[in-house]
């Protein structure tokens, strides 16, 4: 879905704004270079830095599509980039926030990604100020969050958790907690 929308945007921009089409195409190439090796890699754990780089490339593309409707606030301390983190999990969390919270809000909003360590756990939090729970009917499969929970359970047992809460005044807060370990 995301890839086809991006390609359609590039196609439209070729006619209306060639320099912007070229910039979007470059961003798409950077995103694909970041994500394709990760998708082919069968490792159970990667590092947070790789995940952040991939999500940053994804968000750069979205900012081109959504323009001023999307503000991103990324707060990942350099010291946590080597922390072990499940592959594609941050991407899923961010996609969920965009799709169900911000894309459907006419004025858009802010997506915030924060990582910290507390009580021996790496906490990665994705917060949006979008429409919130149940405001807009979902056309999703409903598998995103249950899949994240199941992957966390398989990788970390009870030590891996996904917490979901309403953000105030609007939006959603999603936080993944995993045991803090440095990736090898």
DSSP 159: G
pLDDT digits (tens, 9 = 90+) for 36-78: 776 666 666 789 999 999 999 999 988 988 889 999 999 999 9
| Straight-line distance from the first to the last Cα atom of the chain, in angstroms, rounded to the nearest whole number | 33
All domains in the chain, ordered by first residue:
2-179 (3.30.565.10)
Output phi, psi for 179, to 5 deg: -55, 135
CB atoms within 10 A of CB 50: 19
Regarding pTM above 0.85, the answer is no
CA dist., res. 145 & res. 122, Å (int): 19
Output phi, psi for 159, to 5 deg: -80, -15
pLDDT score of 119 more than 60: yes
pLDDT digits (tens, 9 = 90+) for 96-106: 999 999 998 99
Which residue is listed with tokens 């409903």? Answer: 142
| CA-atom Rg of the chain in angstroms | 17
CB atoms within 10 A of CB 27: 20
* Burial (Cβ within 10 Å: 0-12, 13-18, ≥19) of residue 175: middle
Q: Which pLDDT does position 85 carry in this prediction?
A: 95
Please give the mean pLDDT across all residues of the chain. 88
């Amino acid at each position: 879905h995301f890839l086809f929308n991006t390609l359609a945007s590039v196609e439209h921009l070729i006619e209306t704004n060639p320099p912007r089409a070229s910039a979007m195409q470059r961003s798409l190439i950077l995103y694909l270079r970041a994500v394709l090796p990760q998708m082919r890699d069968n490792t159970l754990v990667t590092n947070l830095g790789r995940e952040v780089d991939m999500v940053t490339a994804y968000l750069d593309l979205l900012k081109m599509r959504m323009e001023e409707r999307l503000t991103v606030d990324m707060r990942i301390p350099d010291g946590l980039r080597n922390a072990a983190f499940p592959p594609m999990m941050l991407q899923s969390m961010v996609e969920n926030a965009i799709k169900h919270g911000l894309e459907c809000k006419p004025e858009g909003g802010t997506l915030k990604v924060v990582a910290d360590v507390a009580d021996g756990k790496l906490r990665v939090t994705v917060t949006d100020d979008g429409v919130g729970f149940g405001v807009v009917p979902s056309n999703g499969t409903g598998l995103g969050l249950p899949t994240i929970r199941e992957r966390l359970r398989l990788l970390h047992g009870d030590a891996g958790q996904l917490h979901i809460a309403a953000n105030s005044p609007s939006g959603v807060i999603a936080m993944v907690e995993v045991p803090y370990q440095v990736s090898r």
